[in-house]
């Protein structure tokens, strides 16, 4: 134990030194020993660094991000609850003689769904993945189908799953870019991030078989701002890490795959995160629902309608180069009632260096109801008298 502590202190010191390095803007010489890597701004979706981002590779336990996502999808849809009791079946025995990381689940035991999700997020428990998959879909095979369907819906073009946990299997792969897409989607669930941010979970199993859980993602305590997501390792995959960190309102997602040595996935991730935080800034320039323009209404009870931003719009730019302009591009000069709320009538464009770098749809902020003929006549008379003056 003392040797482990000394080794940890030495490695932590190296990480602290690395985290103080300042990388130059437009750092083209940024190198990584990862076979694939990608750095993404979680808010804007801007890719800040990439290396072989679309090459399919074994993802190891980063697979579990999809398992967690589907669980929280089910909870969000009202099909499951964190308090649900999950009965462990013989399915956990399919892991065989090499189960990887597990929490000693036995057929016939009952656990809450939240406890099993903690075992997945913190301890990377493969047996907990099978128990959750069977609970949500009836079988792991059916759950894997849901995993692949969800991946397809997210646009993960270089991903295919064969199991819920990430142990090596033929035709089981993800790319760094796809893993970033998946991670960005997972961030929509605060409770998922709450679980991945747990570093220590004592007493998962009580005495006499006491089991304390420790998070495999050591950056939770080694790097300020990290609160997820998932490590991975197999002989075939190498060392992998999907990490996310937030500083000063900027949230980054870092993916490294195929790192060559123990702890190298941590050092490479720190290198990417430092590059992102040191060289870029992210700003929300438009908020969802913000009024951008007014549009005349014909034959409506109201004379004008507000056009509002349909989504938040974040902009990620190199530090010190935040110059941009905005332009409103409308598809029509007026609208006619009746008209549903949320009807798109144009877009707000963000321009930089002569190019459109971002857009946000502009939609009607409320429903437009058709007015009565007397109201139309009154408006015509009012306009006529105004013209006469």
* Residues tagged active-site: 61, 64, 124
* φ, ψ dihedrals at 249, nearest 5°: 80, -5
Residue 83: exposed, middle, or buried by beta-carbon count in 10 A (0-12, 13-18, 19+)?
Answer: exposed
Q: How many other CB atoms sit within 10 Å of the CB of residue 188? A: 12
Retrieve residue 261's tokens. 């040595």
In angstroms, rounded to a whole number, what is the distance separating the alpha carbons of residues 240 and 256?
A: 5
The closest of 213, 206, 217 to 183, measured between CA atoms, is 217
Please name the residue ranges forming H helices in the chain. Answer: 2-19, 64-76, 113-123, 126-137, 140-153, 176-186, 190-196, 219-222, 264-279, 373-388
In angstroms, rounded to a whole number, what is the distance separating the alpha carbons of residues 165 and 134?
A: 13
Q: How many other CB atoms sit within 10 Å of the CB of residue 82? A: 16
The closest of 60, 58, 63, 69 to 164, measured between CA atoms, is 63
Under a CB-based contact definition with an 8 Å cutoff, are residues 45 and 184 in contact? Answer: yes
Task: Return the half-sphere exposure (C-beta side, CA atoms, 13 A cut-off) of residue 209.
Answer: 5
Measured at the CA of 75, the angle between CA 73 and CA 77, to 5 degrees, comes to 70
Q: How many other CB atoms sit within 10 Å of the CB of residue 226? A: 25
């Amino acid at each position: 134990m003392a040797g482990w502590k000394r080794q940890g202190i030495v490695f932590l010191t190296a990480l602290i030194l690395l985290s103080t390095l300042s990388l130059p803007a437009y750092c083209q010489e940024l190198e990584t020993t990862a076979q694939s890597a990608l750095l993404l701004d979680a808010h804007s979706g801007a890719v800040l660094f990439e290396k072989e981002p679309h090459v399919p590779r074994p993802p190891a336990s980063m697979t579990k991000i999809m398992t967690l996502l589907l669980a929280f999808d089910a909870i969000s849809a009202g099909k499951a609850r964190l308090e649900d009791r999950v009965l462990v079946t013989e399915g956990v025995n399919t892991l065989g003689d090499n189960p990887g990381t597990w929490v000693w689940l036995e057929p016939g035991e009952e656990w809450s769904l939240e406890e099993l999700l903690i075992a997945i997020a913190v301890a990377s428990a493969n047996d907990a993945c099978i128990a959750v998959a069977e609970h949500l879909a009836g079988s792991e095979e059916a759950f894997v189908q849901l995993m692949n369907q969800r991946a397809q819906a997210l646009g993960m073009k270089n991903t295919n799953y064969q199991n819920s946990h990430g142990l090596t299997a033929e035709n089981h792969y993800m790319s760094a870019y796809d893993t970033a897409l998946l991670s960005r989607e997972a961030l929509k669930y605060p409770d998922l991030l709450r679980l991945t941010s747990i570093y220590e979970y004592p007493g998962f199993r009580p005495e006499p078989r006491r089991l304390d859980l420790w998070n495999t993602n050591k950056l939770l305590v080694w790097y300020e701002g990290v609160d997820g997501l998932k490590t991975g390792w197999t002989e075939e995959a190498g060392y992998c890490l999907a990490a996310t960190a937030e500083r000063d309102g900027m949230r980054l997602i870092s993916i490294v795959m195929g790192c060559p040595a123990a702890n190298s996935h941590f050092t490479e991730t720190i290198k990417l995160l430092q590059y992102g935080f040191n060289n870029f800034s992210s700003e929300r320039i438009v908020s969802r629902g913000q009024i951008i323009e007014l549009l005349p209404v014909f034959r409506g009870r109201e004379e004008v309608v507000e056009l509002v931003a349909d989504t938040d719009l974040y902009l990620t730019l190199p530090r010190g180069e935040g110059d941009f302009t905005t332009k409103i591009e409308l598809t029509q000069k007026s609208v006619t009632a009746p008209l549903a709320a949320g009807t798109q009538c144009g877009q707000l464009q963000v321009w930089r260096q002569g190019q459109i770098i971002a857009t946000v749809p502009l939609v009607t902020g409320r429903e437009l109801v058709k007015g009565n003929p007397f109201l139309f006549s009154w408006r015509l008379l009012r306009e006529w008298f105004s013209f006469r003056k």
